[in-house]
Amino acid sequence: MSVQAKRRVDYSALVNYIQEENMRQTNRLLEEMIPKLVEYLQVTLAATEESAKECVQQAFLNVYERITGGKLKDPKSLLSYMMMTARNEYFNQYKKSSRYVNKEYVADTVSEPADQIDRLVDQERKELLFECIEELDEDSQIFILYFINHPDATTKEASEFFDLSEANIRTKKYRITHQLHSLYKMRSNGLDY
């Protein structure tokens, strides 16, 4: 009994379907693509299903406008472009919602002033960290976010997840962590680079 490999879907056809206003084919491909993008945000960024769906929907609207405006240069990279757009949308929503939630939380919570200051400082550090992560290339962002979202992950588990040797995982983690630390240090000292 042989196991057949799953056929890779060519999402570049979606660009043509949208431009031709072929709604049936557009919807067919979107039904396959959208759950993958939602899962991508949930796995790599630990997004909730609801926020992942919102981000993917907004990302698709942004990409749709680029397609209909003839601004998408390489249809073959549509899936990776959608992933990047959805990820950026998640970061934008995270920044907006976390600032709002914290202001409300601090205003409505009865606690010691020192505790409130500690919470604000922790939130500022978290926001600064995410700004620094956005400066990394896409591959490095996915890699470091895996470790942020899975702090107890072993090198062996990461090796299996990324399909890299354990030595490569350690080297890559050291390199990206060092780069992130440098970015964080520059930004926290108020230096523009």
CATH number at 131 reads: 1.10.10
**Among 109, 126, 151, residue at a domain's last position:** 109
15 shares a domain with 99? yes
pLDDT of residue 170: 93
Domain that holds residue 156: 112-193
Of residues 6 and 172, more confidence is placed in 172
Q: How far apart are CA 133 and CA 81, in angstroms?
A: 18
Residue 165 — very low, low, confident or very high, per pLDDT cuts 50/70/90? very high
Query: Where residue 79 falls among pLDDT bands split at 50, 70, 90?
Result: confident
Tell whether 59 and 119 lie within a shared domain: no
Q: Is residue 139 part of a domain?
A: yes
Contact assessment for residue 133 and residue 141, using Cβ atoms and an 8 Å cutoff: yes
If asked whether residues 151 and 105 sit together in one domain, one would say no
Domain count for the chain, please give it.
2
Q: Are residues 14 and 45 in the same domain?
A: yes
CB 15 within 8 A of CB 78: yes
Least-confidence region, from 76-85, 91-100, 184-193: 91-100
